[in-house]
């Protein structure tokens, strides 16, 4: 299959998902020229704010391939990813991302992530989400244990 065919599949999934009560987003993960996994936006259906198409596709691909490292894979997504999904794509180590609609296109239909980008530029004390650090010294024990664990699987 060609790149355009994989993207058409992501777009097809996004349209079908609307008909099934979900949001207008679809994603396809490809490895070696074959679709490994797909995902659609199921936020409202699953009552899971992280159930975006890209995250769902990453979860399915990781499970199918038996690894958290999706190097060697590419993602085709019907829309430029939100900050959460973009972070997940980086953490999954996907080789390349293709997208169709832009974040501006998404904003124009009510999916506006610009507030998150704006918040990330601010100091913690200036953000809308109030934050307070607690018990750092106690929490550092877990990081020390991780650092000293010779059997850890780094990711």
- Summarised one tens digit per residue, pLDDT across range 28-77 is 999 999 999 999 999 999 999 999 999 999 999 999 999 999 999 999 99
In the set 5, 16, 19, 54, the catalytic residue is: 54
Give 114-146 as a DSSP string.
Answer: HHHHHHHTS-GGGSSS------HHHHHHHHHHH
Q: H helices of 20-72, where? A: 43-46, 53-65
Confidence label for 1 from pLDDT (cuts 50, 70 and 90):
confident
Q: What is the pLDDT of residue 154?
A: 86
Mean predicted confidence (pLDDT) in 15-29: 96
- State the chain's mean pLDDT as an integer: 96
Catalytic annotation on 54?
yes
What's residue 70's pLDDT?
98
């Amino acid at each position: 299959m060609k790149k355009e065919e994989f993207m058409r599949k992501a777009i097809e999934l996004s349209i079908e998902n609307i008909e099934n009560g979900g949001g207008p987003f679809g994603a396809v993960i490809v490895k070696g020229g074959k679709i490994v996994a797909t995902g659609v936006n199921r936020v409202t259906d699953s009552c899971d704010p992280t159930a975006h198409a890209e995250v769902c596709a990453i979860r399915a691909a990781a499970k199918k391939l038996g690894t958290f490292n999706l190097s060697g894979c590419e993602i085709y997504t019907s829309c430029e990813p939100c900050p959460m999904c973009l972070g997940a794509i980086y953490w999954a180590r996907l080789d390349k991302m293709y997208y169709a609609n832009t974040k501006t296109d998404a904003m124009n239909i009510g999916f506006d992530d610009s507030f998150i980008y704006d918040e990330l530029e601010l100091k913690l004390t200036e953000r809308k989400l109030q934050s307070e650090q607690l018990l750092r010294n106690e929490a550092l024990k877990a990081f020390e244990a991780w650092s000293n664990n010779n059997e850890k699987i780094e990711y």
